[in-house]
Amino acid sequence: MENRMRKRMTVILNSKMNMRRFYVSAALLLTTLLAVAENNPYRSDVFWVTVPDHADWLYKTGEQANVEVQFYKYGIPGDSIAINFEIGGEMMPADTKGTVIMRKGKATIPVGTMKKPGFRDCRLTTTVDGKKYSHHVKVGFSPEKLRPYTTMPADFQQFWENEKAELAKFPLTYTKEHVKKYSTDQIDCYLIKLQVNQRGQSIYGYLFYPKKEGKYPVVLCPPGAGIKTIKEPLRHKYYAEQGCIRFEIEIHGLNPEMSEEEFKEISAAFNGRENGYLSNGLDSRDNYYMKRVYLACVRSIDLLTSLPEWDGKNVIVQGGSQGGALALVTAGLDQRVTACVANHPALSDMAGYKAGRAGGYPHFFRNTVDMDTPEKIRTMAYYDVVNFAQLIRADTYMTWGFNDDVCPPTTSYIVYNVLNCPKEALITPINEHWTSSDTEYGHLDKETSEIKAVEKEKPPKAEITVIISLFRHGLQNFYGSVLIETILICVSRA
């Protein structure tokens, strides 16, 4: 079945149809995918189903939303089971509480409405046979009208132009060491140590090449949040196998060849609640930790575009969570980027809590103290994704889910809404903060020989295609294929 689905996806992508027809065809695959779905949560004795009375989980402000809740244990509908619910704005305290009784495994909960654009979160709990189970579902109200609380400082662009100019004064300096254990008969892997400033600070990354001689697109993949090693470097080897040069980086200057235990010790010492790197130096735009990180991404593009194997045209940035944020930041900072793929980006409208709604990861106003100062709010604006997003000119593809509490859909919508470039979005409402197995382990369906350096067609208008995914495991193959294939769409339209 998996091979049939992948062949079907290849046919769709090779047919030169526009993006609207592609997503319609993809939606038709949902029936096949659901046939192989497993319980949600995965391999749990219980199974929650939450069905908003609008199929796309979206309402206009002022409309009343209702959610049908179903609860099964061992596949048997629950009867006379009490379901407790708390409902409130996303990431906000509950304003409504109550209890409903399951009848033949079902009950309906009135979620209410919102006067302003945003999301309401219905949080559910029940106790069955002495064990407590929980679930939640979010529905949106006119989210296409969400706008950022964060505003762009008047000297935002000048500040970053000055920083890039300083970076450019420092020559490209790196070491390159072949890594045999991550090389195969098709690809070569190199450990790169890339110096990012005159103070000798560096980042590390694994650079994967196709062994076959040729000219290739380059892909920069920044990491998710945390101080950690580069996980399973070969999990994305399909990029190089299918004709891309891929640079997967860490951002702290820590050699990924260190042991996992060493990384844990460093993280425990230097990334706690009181001294995390995302709040390090937040009182000053010049001293904030992430300045070096953002500029390291630009220097990574310097490296990739200096490679003689680069095709001279295609520069792609792709990541999720913090990596999605850094992909968008890089696309905003560097006009050499031709395509950006961002999955539920962090660092987006971080001060949004001051507007009385959800703000972006790392949730400074929820998880840390003493954040609400003029100095910190000012610095956040210089590093907030929403301000970089407005500068992006590259084709941009975003994905996010509604049930994500790490990078809330409010902030993903806000980023998408301020983009002024050709853009597409794949929305999978049921998703929380996870990435599909196909994104992690799948392979590209199109051969490297099909990647052509042609003039990109611009879609006539931005459109959001909503794919309703009802089962996590069943949708993973589809979701990952779409994310990976969209990377190639921007460089293979012919």
Q: What type of residue is 191? A: L
pLDDT at 370: 81
Q: Is 80 a catalytic residue?
A: no
Q: What count of other Cβ atoms lies within 10 Å of the Cβ of residue 234? A: 16
Which residues partner with 206 through β-bridges? Answer: 191, 248
Task: Quote the DSSP letter at residue 107.
Answer: E
Query: How far is 340 from 334, CA to CA, in rounded Å?
Result: 11
pTM over 0.75: yes
Q: Please say if the pLDDT value at position 287 is more than 90.
A: yes
Region of poorest pLDDT, from 79-88, 121-130, 309-318, 454-463: 454-463
Angle 56-61-48 (CA atoms, 0-180°, nearest 5)? 40
Spatial CB neighbours of 421, under 8 Å, sequence gap ≥ 6: 392, 393, 394, 395, 396
Answer yes or no: are the C-beta atoms of 483 and 439 closer than 8 Å: yes
Taken in order 476, 482, 483, 488, the sign of the CA dihedral is positive
β-bridge pairing 216-221 and 202-210? unpaired
pLDDT digits (tens, 9 = 90+) for 193-252: 999 999 999 999 999 999 999 999 999 999 999 999 998 999 889 899 989 999 999 999
Annotated catalytic residue, options 311, 334, 349, 404: 404
Lowest mean pLDDT, pick from 50-64, 87-101, 144-158, 448-462: 448-462
| Section 47-58 average pLDDT | 96
How would you classify the pairing of strands 174-178 and 202-210?
unpaired
Lowest mean pLDDT among 138-152, 230-244, 341-355, 480-494: 480-494
| pLDDT greater than 60 at residue 361 | yes
pLDDT at 453: 38
Confidence band for 271, pLDDT divided at 50, 70 and 90: confident
Closest CA to 84 of 72, 69, 73, 100: 100
Asked whether 214 and 195 are in contact (CB, 8 A), the reply is no
Q: Give 448's pLDDT tier (boundaries 50, 70, 90).
A: very low
Q: Secondary structure of 209-242 in the HEC alphabet?
A: EECCCCCEEEEEECCCCCCCCCCCHHHHCHHHHC
**For residue 494, pLDDT beyond 90:** no
Express each pLDDT in 100-147 by its tens digit: 999 988 999 999 999 999 999 999 999 999 999 999 999 999 999 999
Gap between the Cα atoms of 432 and 135, Å rounded: 11
Active site residue 178: no
Tokens of 340: 């950006």
Measured in degrees and rounded to the nearest 5, phi and psi for residue 462 equal -75, 135
- Among 183, 302, 433, 438, the active-site one is 433
Q: CA 382, CA 247: separation in Å to the nearest integer? A: 26
Q: Which single residue is written with the structure tokens 């995918």?
A: 33
- Choose the weakest-confidence range: 197-201, 223-227, 301-305, 368-372: 368-372
pLDDT at 103: 93
Q: Which of the four pLDDT bands, split at 50, 70 and 90, describes residue 371?
A: confident
pLDDT of 22-45, one tens digit each?
333 333 333 333 333 334 566 789
Interior CA angle at 146 toward 317 and 410, to 5°? 60
H/E segment holding residue 191: strand 187-195
Q: What's the angle, vertex CA 310, arms to CA 308 and CA 314, rounded to 5?
A: 160
Checking if the pLDDT of 423 tops 80, the result is: yes
Distances (CA, A) of 94 to 89, 97, 120, 141, 377: 7, 7, 10, 17, 26
Distances from the Cα of 262 to the Cαs of 179, 250, 254, 406, in angstroms?
20, 15, 10, 26
d(CA 113, CA 91): 16
Query: DSSP label at 103?
Result: B
If you write DSSP's letter for every residue of 388-407 in order, what string do you get?
Answer: HHTT--SEEEEEE-SS-SSS
- Across residues 278-292, what is the average pLDDT? 96
Reported as a single tens digit per residue, the pLDDT across 175-187 is: 999 999 999 999 9
Please tell me the predicted confidence (pLDDT) of residue 434.
Answer: 76
Annotated active-site residue in 202, 321, 348, 469: 321
End-to-end CA distance of the chain: 29
pLDDT at 429 over 50: yes
Confidence of residue 87 (pLDDT cuts 50, 70, 90): very high
- Could you give the percent of the chain with pLDDT greater than 70? 79
pLDDT of residue 379: 98
Catalytic residue flag (residue 321) = yes
Q: What is the pLDDT of residue 30?
A: 36
CB atoms within 10 A of CB 101: 11
CB 191 within 8 A of CB 323: no
Peptide bond preceding 117 in cis form (omega within 30 of 0): no
Written as six digits, the tokens of 332 are: 């905003």
Q: Alpha helix (H) ranges present in 80-229?
A: 156-169
Q: Is it the case that residue 7 has pLDDT exceeding 90?
A: no
124 - beta bridge partners? 85, 135
Does pLDDT of 464 surpass 80? no
**Rounded mean pLDDT of 279-298?**
97
SS3 465: strand
- Rounded to the nearest integer, the mean pLDDT of the chain is 84
Contact in structure between 138 and 409 (CB atoms under 8 Å) = yes
Beta bridge partners of 108: 68
The residue to which tokens 């409208």 are assigned: 349
